[in-house]
Structure formats: structure tokens, C-alpha cells
Amino acid sequence: MAEKLRLGLYWAASCGGCEIAVLEIGDRILDLIQVADIVFWPCVMDFKYDDVRAMPDGHIDVVLFNGAIRNSENESIARLLRQKCKVLVAFGSCAVEGGIPALANLYALQSLMARAFTESESTVNPAGTVPAPGHHVPEGEIELPVIYRTVRRLQDVVPVDYFMPGCPPTEKQIWAVLQAIVAGALPPVGSHVGCGDRSVCDECKREKRQVRIERFHRPHEIVPEEGWCLLEQGIVCMGSATRSGCEARCLDANQPCRGCYGPAGRSMDQGAATLSAVGSMIAADSIEKAEQILRDFVDPAGTVYRFGMSNSLLVRRLDE
């Protein structure tokens, strides 16, 4: 029989949801290992980076890389795996477009550190200790990865073969992609896999009533009417500007789409696309009126780039 397929999975700057999502395939993982050896999956089995370093280049057939590039470790392992694998898949929203970690790009690193390690209400840190790259312990020097000021996508540090968005990708899509990998039936390099190429509205069953937006609500402020387009109800839903493939699950839960699959169709900036659509829908005939209605659209940047900050045209806040 032919040599078994060699798979690797890695977890960079992300919540770990993607790893769990993979396990979602359940018993089918047994079918998987019939045809594929998992040669690197630190989250699940005890592999060492040195094991990978020891591998010949291109040794791993496919690496599913989840998580954004937030620190020097993320980047160096990304480079290492790129070298050791044939096919690199950016797996999940963080790897594809920055994801939740990339919201950090709206702030300066120092202020984030201060908030996280000293200022936050729940923190007790009288010494004001904060992570430092180099640290001396009795056993000697230990090195911590350096945190980057700007969170980036996997494709910003190494060439990526396939993009599989989703926070996390659905188990259905994961299984489909794994099957494609095993069958060697992957689309041309550079494609998005495990998703559609239209917008979430394509899969959303809610009805449109062609009404204009009089005022905005945040999801927790009202109980939206079932079955009616949330955007028309004044809840910022990013479905129309977001790539399909999730089967509109959030909307089935009566919650707006947060846009985790990234921009739809030909749009090059998911946030701008959303603002353009939403802005066009409000019932205003003067700038003043528009301002008044949009006042309730809180934190536009954090809303429309919740998952896509690293993927956006502007990428981060830069103070003049």
C-alpha cells in the first residue's frame, strides 16, 4: 500500500477553539488515521519543536495552521513548518485574517500590557511585574517570545497555500477538507477551502422587508423578531459582507453575523463594505440626521473588523 499521508496541526495566537473543532469530527478521526499519520500536533500529543527541526524539508504533506502571528514564537514556528511541509493551510479566522487577537491592533502594545498585567480591576500585581523576553532564574536565563506590536495573518510571514476561514470552521467543512486532502482533490493553490464564495445572506433564511434603518440596537438591547433580517431591524449584521460557508448558524440562533469568514465576493475590505451597505440603508436626508441615527452604531471599527483587522486595508491604529 502507498505511504500514509503525513499531517501536522499547529496552534499559534488563537483561543484553541480550532483544535476542538477538529476533534468535533469525533470517531471519524479513527478513519483519518487509517490513511494519515499525525506527525505534529502539540496540543494533543507530546511533540517537540526539535522533532520538527529534525525532519527533512517537505516531510509533512499538509499542515493545518491555526492562530494569528502575535509574537516571535508564532512567526518562527510558522517559518519552520512552511519549510517542513508541502501544503500549508491557514486554518480558522485567526490564521486567515487575524481574528479576535487582531483587535489588539486598535491599541498600543504598552497600554494593552498595562491593562492586562497591572490596571485591570481583577489584577493584583503590587510589584508591577510584566512579561519580559529575557528572565533570570536560578537554573539560568530563560527566554520568552517577544510580543509583536501588530498582529498579522499567517500569509504576512510565510506563503500560504490554502485559506480555511471560520471561527471556528464547522466540523462538516473540516471533514470535507480532510477528505479532499486525503483524496488529493484540493482546488488550485491560493483558494479558499471549506467555505462558499458568496455572502452569508445566501444561506440565511430571514426575510427582507425593504425598510430603511431608523435606529440601531446592540444585540443585547432588544430581542430581535425571528425570521426578519436583523440589519433591517437595526442590528449590525455583517452577513451581507461576509463569506458564506457557515450555514448562517449565528442567525439561526437569532444573533447577528460577526463576519468571521472574512470579506465576501470581490470586496477587498470587509469593514468598508459593511459600512457602505449599512450607511446606504439608513433613513437620512441630511448629514445631521445621519449622525443622529448612526450615534447608536457603537464602536464601528471593533464591530466591522471583529475578525478581520489584520486583513483590513488599514491593518491597525496609527496615532498621528
| Residues near another protein (CB under 8 A) | 71-72, 75-76, 79, 106, 133, 145-146, 148-150, 152, 157, 197-202, 208, 210-212, 231, 239-241, 244, 263-269, 271-282, 284-287, 290-291, 294, 297, 299-302, 304, 312-320
Cis, bond preceding 169 (omega within 30 deg of 0): no
CA distance 115 to 164: 32
Closer CB to another protein, 87 or 157, in the complex: 157
Closer CB to another protein, 6 or 70, in the complex: 70
Helical residues (DSSP H) of the chain, grouped into ranges: 17-23, 28-35, 49-54, 72-84, 93-97, 109-114, 171-183, 249-252, 270-281, 287-294, 300-304
| Greatest alpha-carbon span in the chain | 72
Q: Residue 226: what are its φ and ψ, rounded to 5°?
A: -65, 145
Share of the chain residues as helix, strand and coil, in percent rounded to the nearest 5: 35, 20, 45
CA distance 247 to 133: 43
CB of 268 vs another protein, minimal distance in Å: 6
CB of 124 vs another protein, minimal distance in Å: 30
**Cβ atoms of residues 67 and 74 within 8 Å:** yes
Closer CB to another protein, 7 or 304, in the complex: 304
Closer CB to another protein, 34 or 286, in the complex: 286
Closer CB to another protein, 114 or 284, in the complex: 284
CB of 144 vs another protein, minimal distance in Å: 11
CB of 102 vs another protein, minimal distance in Å: 12
CB of 7 vs another protein, minimal distance in Å: 26
Closer CB to another protein, 109 or 116, in the complex: 109
CB of 93 vs another protein, minimal distance in Å: 18
CA distance 133 to 231: 46
DSSP annotation of 156: G
